[in-house]
């Protein structure tokens, strides 16, 4: 058994993502809720997860799927009460499961009390946001939003306010020290309640270094004034020093348009910023520059992307499905003849890579983002996808090589991902056939110790369609 006693708890964790509205509806009103999550804690414990990442739980008018927050210290009444949330934290803790929550600090809802007071003319709260007068009869600058159109909306007065997303999500002014004090107070509020950390959305656009006109672009005119602006790194370091370091937290970032260099800066332990960073490049390999038009998926592109991030980051946050992108099997795998095999392959791959694996709700039963209450998760057989997830998570937790070992890609056909995970006492070869065809490969190692094909189904000289296997070798 791997010994992780000297490690920070999150370094060997398996984290399960829950969208509270869709996970489990406890009262039949058609909306998932916190009570439903509580009812499934033992299920999650048996699955083997160490932490739950909760999607939006705060009160919100719902213009942006809960990411327009109107009260950072409340619970959306559709999901339950603060008492329910405290019960969830307490009961999860008893089972050894930690709770992480989504935190959006680039903007609030336009129905947040701060913004309401700002619109009423309160000078203190007007400085919480960006209010500016227009240029002549035009906007304050030429910036455009992530949703298209101008990034400014006119108030009932003579000025405008900035919103990089919808008009219902006014951007916070991080040059104002009062905003820093408010947000750090909110962080302490939740950490004191027992939350173990935060997933920080859009963390690399919170700091606007100026409001000057931007270079005209087809999309996101003005982004050079806020995307990866250096000031946000200083804010994160202050969060860490003033708040996060005082608790045993796990802080993962989901930056916008993350590139490798920026991800390295964010997650470099010596810089004392974030603990880990999501990268979404593997989810966008079939996108081209024209919105809505897709390239044909290429397995080698996936291999190259994963390999690059594995080599470059110490502890990446790995996933193949999340609340925004429920599609690891399509286009990566096969949704018909090899649905079972390809689903298990991506389970094995995600749990074998270096870093912190995230599992999206329902992924473990082959149906991401589903109401778990309505699924038969109790009576699944030994060959089910759920059973495979449980076994693979248990295997991971018992493997020193996977938990703490090095990563190295090994030469193989372009659509076969072959890599090693190696510790002082253990070397594993991980084989992933990313096609629906038999693939001849060079086999290394002495003993197959895990896979998604039974022993009698395997072949000695090639991998079968969407085959995943782990081979151990003596060191």
Residue 193: is it exposed, middle or buried by C-beta count within 10 angstroms (0-12/13-18/19+)? Answer: middle
| Rounded-to-integer distance, Cα 301 and Cα 415, Å | 9
Supply the pLDDT for residue 288. Answer: 41
Interval 11-38 mean pLDDT:
96
**Contact (Cβ atoms closer than 8 angstroms) between residue 431 and residue 463:** yes
Q: How do residues 255-275 score in pLDDT, each as one tens digit?
A: 999 889 999 999 999 999 999
Phi, psi of 329 (to 5 degrees): -80, -30
Please tell me the least confidently modeled range out of 107-111, 318-322, 422-426: 318-322
First to last CA, the chain: 17
Residue 335, pLDDT score: 73
pTM metric for this prediction: 0.93
Q: Distance between CA atoms of 237 and 448, rounded to whole angstroms? A: 45
Which tokens sit at 170? 């006014």
Q: Which two tokens stand for residue 315?
A: 């502890």
Per-residue pLDDT, 262: 94
Least confident interval from 216-225, 271-280, 329-338, 370-379:
370-379
Q: What residues have CB less than 8 Å from 241, skipping those under 6 apart?
A: 272
Give the pLDDT confidence of 122-157 residue by residue, as tens digits: 999 999 999 999 998 899 999 999 999 999 999 998
Which residues pair with residue 133 across a beta bridge?
159
**What mean pLDDT do residues 411-437 have?**
96
Mean pLDDT, range 105-116, rounded to an integer: 98
Burial class of residue 123, CB neighbours in 10 A (0-12, 13-18, 19+): exposed
Instruction: Report the C-alpha gap between 444 and 216 in whole angstroms.
Output: 54
Whether residue 465 has pLDDT greater than 60? yes
Q: Helices marked H in 29-165 — which ranges?
A: 34-39, 41-47, 82-94, 113-119, 123-126
Tokens of 361: 């709700």
Token pair, residue 234, equals 């200083």
Residue 42 has pLDDT above 70, yes or no: yes
**CA angle, 70 then 72 then 78, to 5°:** 65
Q: In this predicted structure, what is the pLDDT of residue 142?
A: 97
Specify the pairing of strand 15-18 against strand 439-440.
unpaired
The arithmetic mean of pLDDT across residues 274-280, rounded, is 89
How far, in Å, are 182, 246, 250, 259 from residue 187 at the CA level? 9, 11, 13, 27
How many residues are there in the chain?
475
């Amino acid at each position: 058994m791997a010994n992780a006693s000297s490690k920070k708890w999150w370094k060997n964790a398996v984290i399960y993502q829950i969208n509270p509205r869709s996970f489990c509806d406890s009262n039949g009103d058609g909306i998932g809720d916190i009570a439903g999550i509580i009812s499934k804690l033992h299920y999650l414990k048996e699955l083997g997860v160490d932490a739950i990442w909760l999607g939006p739980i705060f009160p919100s008018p719902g213009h942006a799927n809960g990411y327009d927050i109107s009260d950072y210290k409340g619970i959306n009444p559709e999901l339950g009460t603060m008492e329910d949330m405290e019960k969830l934290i307490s009961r999860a803790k008893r089972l050894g499961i930690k709770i992480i929550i989504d935190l959006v600090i680039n903007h609030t809802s336009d129905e947040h009390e701060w913004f309401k007071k700002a619109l009423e003319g309160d000078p203190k709260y007007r400085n919480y946001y960006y209010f500016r007068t227009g240029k002549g009869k035009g906007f304050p600058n030429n910036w455009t939003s992530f949703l298209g159109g101008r990034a400014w909306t006119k108030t009932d007065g003579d000025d405008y306010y900035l919103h990089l997303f919808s008009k219902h999500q006014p951007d916070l002014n991080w040059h104002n020290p009062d905003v820093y004090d408010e947000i750090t107070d909110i962080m302490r509020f939740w950490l004191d309640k027992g939350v173990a950390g935060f997933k920080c959305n859009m963390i690399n656009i919170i700091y606007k270094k100026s409001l000057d006109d931007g270079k005209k672009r087809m999309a996101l005119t003005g982004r050079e004034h806020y995307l990866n602006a250096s000031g946000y790194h200083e804010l994160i370091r202050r969060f860490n020093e003033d708040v996060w370091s005082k608790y045993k937290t796990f802080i993962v970032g989901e930056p916008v348009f993350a590139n490798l260099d920026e991800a390295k800066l964010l997650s470099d332990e010596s810089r004392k910023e974030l603990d880990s960073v999501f990268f979404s490049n593997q989810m966008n390999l079939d996108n081209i520059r024209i919105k809505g038009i897709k390239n044909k998926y290429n397995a080698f592109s996936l291999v190259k992307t994963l390999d690059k991030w594995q080599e470059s980051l110490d502890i990446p946050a790995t996933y193949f499905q999340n609340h925004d992108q429920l599609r690891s099997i399509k286009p990566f795998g096969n949704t018909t003849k090899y649905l079972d095999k390809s689903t298990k392959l991506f389970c094995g791959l995600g749990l074998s890579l270096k870093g912190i694996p995230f599992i999206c709700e329902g992924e473990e039963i082959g149906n991401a983002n589903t109401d778990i209450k309505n699924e038969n998760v109790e009576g699944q057989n030994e060959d089910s996808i759920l059973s495979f997830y449980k076994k693979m998570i248990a295997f991971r937790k018992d493997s020193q090589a996977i938990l703490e070992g090095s990563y190295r890609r090994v030469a193989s056909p372009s659509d076969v991902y072959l890599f090693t995970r190696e510790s002082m006492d253990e070397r594993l070869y991980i084989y992933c056939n990313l096609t629906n065809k038999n693939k001849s490969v060079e086999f290394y190692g002495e003993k197959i110790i895990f896979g998604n094909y039974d022993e009698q189904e395997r072949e000695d000289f090639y991998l079968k369609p969407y085959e995943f296997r782990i081979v151990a070798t003596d060191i």
